[in-house]
Chain A
Amino acid sequence: MSEAREEILARIRLATAAVATPEETDAAYAALQRPYRRAHHDPAATDVVALFAERAADYRAVVERVPEDELPGAVAAAVDSLPSVVVPDGLPAGLLAGLRPEVRLVRDEPPLSAAELDRIAGVVTGCAVAIAETGTIILDHGPGQGRRALTLVPDFHLVVVRAGQVAADIADALARLDPARPHTLISGPSATSDIELIRVEGVHGPRNLHILIGG
């Protein structure tokens, strides 16, 4: 163990006069008051899917809600003008059934280099969870979502959200995730507030975010 580590920990123990065992610390943590709401909209009284659609659209994402069986057609229409799209393993094949042959389908197998990804116009994925309150989609980069670079480098991201994946608020969404996985939370297209503190869309991430809500 490094000298720096021991010194920092010793200084902390001195500063905090910490005598609690880890078990006592955990007990004190469990006793912390949490008087806030775990959801700001009651899922029983609110159409959380509609709320998600409205809030995601506030960020200037394109949002469409379509019946489950119309998803393939909606996917095809959304990427119709793109020359190429990359598709991760595990994306249900049926979703791509309507694509015209002019749209080149690329697989990440073997893994594409960053430069290769940069030459692909778009990406189509699913997601792990969505948050209605904040209009956020969360990728855990599992099957159908691809590794993180896939949804980052191409300039157009089409994401398919199932109605059942929409959580009312942040607390519920986080509870549905496996913390061991890498996660990306996405709320609208890439943006910046760095010029005069005004939000401007379109910097390094995908400048176009298209969300299809199925069901």
Chain B
Amino acid sequence: MPTYLGMPAFPDAAKHAVADSQLRRNLTHATTAIRTKRAKAVAELDDWEQLRQAAKAIKDHTLANLATYLVRLEENVTRAGGHVHWARDAAEANAIVADLVRQAGADKAVKVKSMATQETGLNEALEAQGTTVVETDLAELIVQLGDDRPSHILVPAIHRNRAEIGELFRRTMADAPPGLTDDPPQLAAAARTHLRHEFLTATVGISGANFAVADTGSLVVVESEGNGRMCLTLPDTLISVVGIEKLLPSWRDLEVFLALLPRSSTAERMNPYTTIWSGVAPGDGPQDFHLVLLDNGRTDTLADRTGRQALRCIRCSACLNVCPVYERAGGHAYGSPYPGPIGAILSPQLRGVDSPIDASLPFASSLCGACYDVCPVAINIPEVLVEQRARVVESHKHYPERIVFGAAGYVLRSPRRLAAAQRVASLGRLVAGRSGSIRRLPPPLSAWTDTRDAPAPPPESFRAWWARTRGADR
């Protein structure tokens, strides 16, 4: 998965985002609206918690028996006339897709929004071989036209409001109707006109999938606009890139996940369109179907007993919408196609913690637990975050906190050293502001004050006061 080039650690990226008041207004507006609606949609089902526990159990069972179910899926997709490919990493997946597009003799592909292909950077790989990739999801189109990055799993252009989108369409869309306003229905209609010709002439479609059903070889794509149906139905060749964790054992399991996903993501009883297909249907839709099963770090995640639960994720994005950190920092600060709380645990697991951004992501949370409460598959995100924090600290020998705690241990082991340290610390009052807190300490203590204020020390320590008075001025 791409670590966006030159991506700074989360605190630096977030500092810029938080200073952007327009961005904060857009995010607060959108996430507040969806939070209220989601709560209402969920409250309508009085067995929500039971559905959630069943979903968790089904996913855990699938992950524990993943090899068996993947082989079964492969058999059933092949039996239904599809071709199954396996990709160990992003480069391998991109090469397989690029090859298939070339074999189909296409110089263009229409694409329905897919997290897996964002993760592999497929568009860039295809464009490198001269294939034009047309993103057909409205929000992806907004991102592509604006030469921007996605900032939300479900609504990649959540950081843009209608006025900004209207301006973008008028500036970059050659066929935008004259007099196009910022009215959302008009903007949607402009996107319809703009993409119509692409759909009708496309010979290759590229998608991901929300679910893959092992016992029937079915793939399921859940969407709203109909661009998914267009990409999955009209081209001659269809290529679906699907993470190996998207599996469900049986057709019946859809009764659980189709109840949970739409209510969690767009707060609807059901999303407008869902397409389900198995291999090739003679005379109906693409007659050449390829499924690319993607590992790309998932088997490493699977080997981690605590972190494994992140593979239950169904990409609903409810955790983003309730997260106080996401609401203020926005999606770009997470430096990954997966932003928000789920991204904070998924990206470091899929990519490792070597880069500054990945090492900082486990700390991009207040551990308030709202994400865990709303997660439809009950991923305990705070638990994974805490464990990853420990891992980051262990892998960085000179982590400032380690030095500080080492020094604290030295001081606390001797009453004499402690008394001396406390006398020195009292002098810290001199640098405290009128708020009674210290904004900035010199290095290495700046590691503490970079991310929080330090309270001013009291004028006298308890030990000093006791030695002076024996409690007499009580």
Contacts and interface: CB of A to CB of B under 8 A. Distances in A.
Interface size class of B (residues with CB under 8 A): 35 or more
B252 interface: yes
Contacts of A195: 138, 157, 162, 165, 184, 187-188
A124 interface: no
B199 interface: yes
A193 B266 contact: yes
A4 B86 contact: yes
Contacts of B313: none
Interface string A7-45: 111011111101010100100110011111110100000
Interface in A111-158: 111, 114-115, 118, 131, 133-136, 141, 147-149, 152-153
Secondary structure dominating the interface of B:
helix
Contact of B270 (A35, A136, A148): A136
Interface residues of A, number: 76
Nearest to B66: A12
Contacts of A12: 66-67, 70, 244, 299, 302
Contact of B188 (A18, A37, A180, A192): A192
A175 to B, nearest CB: 8
A80 interface: no
Contacts of B302: 11-12, 15-16
Interface string A150-168: 0011000000000000000
B65 A197 contact: no
A129 B9 CA distance: 51
Contacts of A171: 252, 255
Contact of A29 (B47, B85, B184, B250): B250
A35 B50 contact: yes
A184 interface: yes
A152 B226 contact: yes
A186 B47 contact: no
Contacts, number: 263
Contacts of B271: 187
A180 B295 CA distance: 27
Contacts of B185: 200-202
Contacts of B191: 203
B391 interface: no
Contact of A118 (B30, B196, B285): B196
B137 interface: yes
Contacts of A77: none
B134 to A, nearest CB: 13
Contacts of A67: none
B200 interface: yes
Given A8-B70, A40-B47, 18 more contacts: A16-B66, A16-B67, A18-B68, A20-B68, A22-B68, A25-B68, A29-B250, A33-B57, A36-B54, A37-B46, A148-B233, A153-B234, A174-B254, A182-B278, A189-B272, A191-B225, A193-B224, A194-B224
23 contacts: A8-B88, A9-B70, A12-B70, A16-B67, A29-B249, A34-B256, A35-B47, A35-B50, A36-B256, A38-B255, A40-B47, A118-B196, A179-B218, A184-B276, A192-B225, A193-B155, A193-B266, A195-B138, A195-B184, A197-B31, A203-B224, A203-B225, A204-B192
Interface of B: 26, 29-31, 33-34, 44-47, 50-51, 53-54, 57-58, 61, 63-72, 80, 85-88, 92, 136-139, 142, 154-155, 157-158, 161-162, 165, 184-185, 187-189, 191-192, 195-196, 199-201, 213, 216, 218, 224-227, 229-230, 233-234, 244, 249-252, 254-256, 258-259, 266, 268-278, 281, 283-285, 293, 295, 299-300, 302-303
Closest 7 CB pairs between A and B? Answer: A205-B226, A204-B226, A15-B303, A203-B225, A11-B299, A179-B216, A147-B284
Interface of A: 2, 4-5, 7-9, 11-16, 18, 20, 22, 25, 28-29, 32-38, 40, 55, 58-59, 111, 114-115, 118, 131, 133-136, 141, 147-149, 152-153, 170-171, 174-175, 179-206
